[in-house]
Amino acid sequence: MQILFKSIRRNNRGYALVIIMVFLVVTLTVFASMMYMIASNSTITQRNNLYNTSESAAEAAVDTIISQMDRDFLYQTLNNASVYQVLPIPATNWPVTFQFSGTNGSTAGQITVTVVPQNWTTNWGLLNSSQFSGLNAAIATCTVTATATPLNQGYGMSSTVQEQFQLAAIPVFQYGAFYNMDMDISPGQAMTMNGKVMVNGNIWMCPQALMTFNDTVSATLLVTNHDNPNDQQNLSFISGDLTYNGGQPVSHHDSLVMPVAGSNTGLTNPEAILNLPPAGLGVPNDVAYASSNQTYLYNECDLIISNSVSGTNGNSWYGTNLSAYYSDYNNLSGRLILLTNDLLLQKTTNGVNITNYAATNIALAGYSFVMNTNFYDFRECAIVQVVQIDVAKFNSWLTNATTRGGVQVGGYQWNFQCGGSDGAHGSKGHPIDSIYVYNAVTPISKFRLPGVRVVNGWQLASAKGLTIATPQPLYVLGNYNVQTNASASVSQMSANTTNTAYTYPAGLMGDSITILSSNWNDANSLTKSGSSYNAPESGTGSRVVNGNITVNAACLEGIVPSTLAGTKKQYSGGLENFLRLNEDWGANSISLWYNGSIVVMFQSIYATNFWIGPSDRSGYPTHNYTVPTRKWGFDAKLATLAGQPPCTPQVKWIVRGQWGDWNAY
């Protein structure tokens, strides 16, 4: 019997399903992984974007506060740190709403702001910036920290940033030369500048003799080896006439400004510090003593001297039209005290003096150290009616305790109340060391000019020094600040030398500064002295200098800048003519020694005739002097804070630091 076997056929359809299911699971897993990865990347990207946005918002908050602090600092109105902590942060058109806070537990809406020390105006030290290395300043070290937290975004992606910076108030007389405008330099004789040179503009240098800089030279625009295009001399640069021992000059340097708060002149008109304050901002008003208005020298100085609009009247030197005030916020008897006249000229009867000082017997009442007088200025082509301060008589007045009718008529009382001769007594902590003079004479072009003159200033009253400030032209007659002891020997004097060991801190600030020699005579001021001295009026005598002169003082003034007047070029006179002259210095090879600081902050308002200007009213040229041998230098004592004169103006600067960033996921 035959047995047959039937083969069994397998069904493969089940395996296919399994394979498909496996592939489907794999595909779904891969897809899910991809979706998860995409979702994760999207979340990370969103979180990163949100964090970056928060960081930008925090930086914006910090910058908003810093800009406000910088603005207030420039205007002398820097507030307590707490004021800036709650400063509103504008959020115009921001895509995300943020809540701002600080650190160390500060509440929402308060950003952490610190200013160390709080009384930063006495925190003097060296600046830690290479741009301004070697300069001292009053430094406020500030820190602003802000945390920005986004609201209603689903993620708490806050960001915290911090920046530390310095606000620095730099005494301007630390510079050998500081110009708030273009500086021209074209000396015809060798000249050396020992101090730092800083210019908020261009430096046009085309010296015609060796010009040496022993310290840094910087300009916010360009330092050029070209003559100013408005110099009528049309000079050509001579290779080798410039030597830089302090390093190569720097163009495009950060600028420094001297702002005046409370004025309507803005930041670009620093001459306002010399002008009378705007109505309501001057002493004795309360607001005058705010730091923002102490930038006005009228408010800051210890004495204020003025005259009437008539000034010199031609027949009296001393008169009731001169007034002197002592100014002191802490003065219990009044903040602005009219000083009693210490000089009384009696009437006479038949040649016999009347000794009764009754008001009816006084011919003239005035002050021993102040008078009105006049002389002719060839450059300005005008009679200058000046309020004259005799420094030697002022020194005596400060020690005069004489009384009349029970009232002290000398300055001893006020000097002691201010601080005494050593500065250790009165309310201000220093003796009377600053005088503001306002000459109320109305200027008349080419005929009359108001001014101030200091004479007999070879010795100042105390080691605290003396500053004289005026908005009008300032004249210095004879040696100034050359000795500290009236009985000193010649070897103990700082005359005819660059050694300033025997000087006190001194400041001279005015619309212009003109040096007159010791043999200057007002009666001869109209006199021709040499072929270039053509006087419009007749006169006798001479304007020839016969002896060296030394001036040791930091000087701030205006200039008449180089300009194109119509079709005629007009040179400013340059750095070499910063100190104006009115005599023949070259006839006897006379030297003018100057140790100080040269600061030009504005364009002159009163003394506006050009260096070589248009003809005067009689058709004579106004090139009115021949040059001395200039022996000018920076007084090294001015590089120290102790050497700064009273009421020294300050320029402002902010030193930005590095950002700090904390990741706050």
Note whether 166 and 187 are same-domain residues: no
CA–CA distances in Å: residue 106 to residues 34, 67, 85, 116, 163: 44, 22, 9, 18, 17
Instruction: Let me know: does 430 contact 423? Beta carbons within 8 Å.
Output: yes
Q: Of all residues in the chain, what percent carry a pLDDT higher than 70? A: 83
Residues 617, 111: Cα–Cα separation, whole Å? 66
pLDDT bracket for residue 39 (50, 70, 90) = low
Residue 270 lies in a domain: no
Average pLDDT score over the chain: 83
Residues 87-94, mean pLDDT to the nearest whole number: 76
* Average pLDDT of span 409-420: 91
**DSSP H helical ranges for 296-373:** 297-300
- Taking the C-alpha atoms of residue 414 and residue 35, their distance in angstroms, rounded to an integer, is 88
Residues 164 and 191 in one domain: no
Question: In this predicted structure, what is the pLDDT of residue 617?
Answer: 40
**What is the edge-to-edge ordering of all strands in the sheet holding 177-179?**
217-219, 197-199, 177-179, 598-603, 554-559, 506-509, 466-469, 434-438, 303-306, 323-327, 336-338
Query: 664: pLDDT confidence band, cut at 50, 70 and 90?
Result: very low
pLDDT score of 262: 45
- 215 and 91 belong to one structural domain: no
pLDDT category of residue 205 using cuts at 50, 70 and 90 = very high
Can you tell me the distance from the alpha carbon of 507 to that of 487, in angstroms, rounded to the nearest whole number? 24
CA distance 657 to 128: 11
Write out pLDDT tens, residues 421-451: 888 888 889 999 999 999 999 888 778 899 9
User: Please, which residues bridge with residue 544 across strands?
Assistant: 584
Q: What's the CA gap between 560 and 603, in Å, rounded?
A: 6
Confidence bin at 314 (pLDDT 50/70/90): very low
* Distance between CA atoms of residues 651 and 175, nearest Å: 11
320 vs 399, which has greater pLDDT? 399
In this structure, the answer to whether residues 577 and 473 fall within a common structural domain is yes
Tokens of 357: 């000082």
Q: Are residues 165 and 67 in the same domain?
A: yes
Q: Is residue 427 in some structural domain?
A: no
pLDDT per residue as tens digits for the range 638-658: 998 889 999 999 988 888 877
For residue 613, the model assigns a pLDDT of 58
Whether residue 249 is preceded by a cis peptide bond, meaning omega within 30 degrees of 0, is no
| Same-domain check for residues 92 and 180 | no
CA pair distance 254, 219, nearest whole angstrom: 8
- Residue with the two structure tokens 């030193």: 655
Are 625 and 482 in the same domain?
A: yes
pLDDT the model gives residue 77: 79
Residues 547, 657 within the same domain: no
- As a whole number, mean pLDDT of residues 522-550 equals 64
Q: Which two tokens stand for residue 190?
A: 């060798």
What is the CB neighbour count within 10 angstroms for residue 247?
Answer: 11
Residue 404 lies inside a defined structural domain of this protein: no
- Lowest average pLDDT, out of 78-92, 255-269, 380-394, goes to 255-269
pLDDT at residue 533 is higher than 60: no
Are 241 and 314 in a shared domain?
no
Look at residue 92 in the predicted model and tell me its pLDDT.
65
545 vs 406: which has the higher pLDDT? 545
CA dihedral (402, 408, 412, 417) in degrees, to 10, reads 160
Residue 123 has pLDDT above 50, yes or no: yes
272 falls within a domain: no
90 and 142 in one domain? yes
7 vs 61: CA distance, rounded Å? 88
Note the pLDDT of residue 41: 60
Domain extent, residue 212, equals 176-256
**Mean pLDDT, rounded, for 526-537:** 47
The arithmetic mean of pLDDT across residues 289-312, rounded, is 84
**How far apart are the C-alpha atoms of 636 and 194, rounded to whole Å?**
8
- pLDDT bin (cut points 50, 70, 90) of residue 125 is confident
- The last residue of one of the domains, among 195, 230, 256, is 256
Burial (Cβ within 10 Å: 0-12, 13-18, ≥19) of residue 134: exposed
Res 535: pLDDT: 40
Give domain status of residue 415, yes or no.
Answer: no
In this structure, are 543 and 581 located in the same domain?
yes
Q: Residue 107 has what pLDDT?
A: 57
Q: 236-250, 252-266, 528-542: lowest mean pLDDT where? A: 528-542
Per-residue model confidence (pLDDT) at position 329: 83
How confident is the model at residue 425, as a pLDDT? 81
Q: Kind and range of the H or E element at 418?
A: helix 412-418
Q: Does some domain include residue 275?
A: no
Among 8-22, 301-315, 457-471, 619-633, name the most confident range: 457-471
Q: By three-state DSSP, how is residue 602 classified?
A: strand
Q: In the 3-class helix/strand/coil scheme, how is 360-414 assigned residue by residue?
A: HHEEEEECCCEEEEEEEECCCCEEEEEEEEEHHHHHHHHCCCCEECCEECCCHHH
List, for residues 139-169, the tens digit of each pLDDT value: 888 999 988 888 877 676 788 888 998 899 8
The number of folded domains in the chain is 3
pLDDT number for residue 517 = 95
pLDDT at 152: 75
- Residue 662: its pLDDT value, please? 54
Position 365 scores a pLDDT of 76
pLDDT at 88: 83
pLDDT single digits (tens) 552-585: 999 999 999 999 877 888 899 999 999 999 998 8
Q: How confident is the model at residue 103 (pLDDT cuts 50, 70, 90)?
A: low
Domain-embedded: residue 28: no
Share of the chain above pLDDT 90, in %: 41
**Amino acid found at 297:** L
Q: What is the pLDDT of residue 260?
A: 63
pTM of the shown model: 0.86
User: What's the rounded mean pLDDT across residues 41-70?
Assistant: 81
Residue 30 lies in a domain: no
Q: What is the pLDDT of residue 507?
A: 98
- In this structure, the answer to whether residues 470 and 607 fall within a common structural domain is yes
pLDDT of 539 strictly over 70: no
Q: How far is CA 446 from CA 466, 534, 607, 622, in A?
A: 32, 15, 10, 11
pLDDT at 316 over 70: no
- What is the mean pLDDT of the segment spanning 42-58? 76
Lowest mean pLDDT among 57-71, 118-132, 613-627: 613-627
- Give the domain-ending residue among 201, 231, 256: 256
pLDDT at 294: 87
Mean pLDDT of 516-521: 94
Distance CA 438, CA 300 (A): 14
> Are the CB atoms for 57 and 29 separated by under 8 Å?
no
Quick one: pLDDT at residue 114?
86
Structure tokens at 57: 């918002």
Burial class (CB in 10 A: 0-12, 13-18, 19+), 627: middle
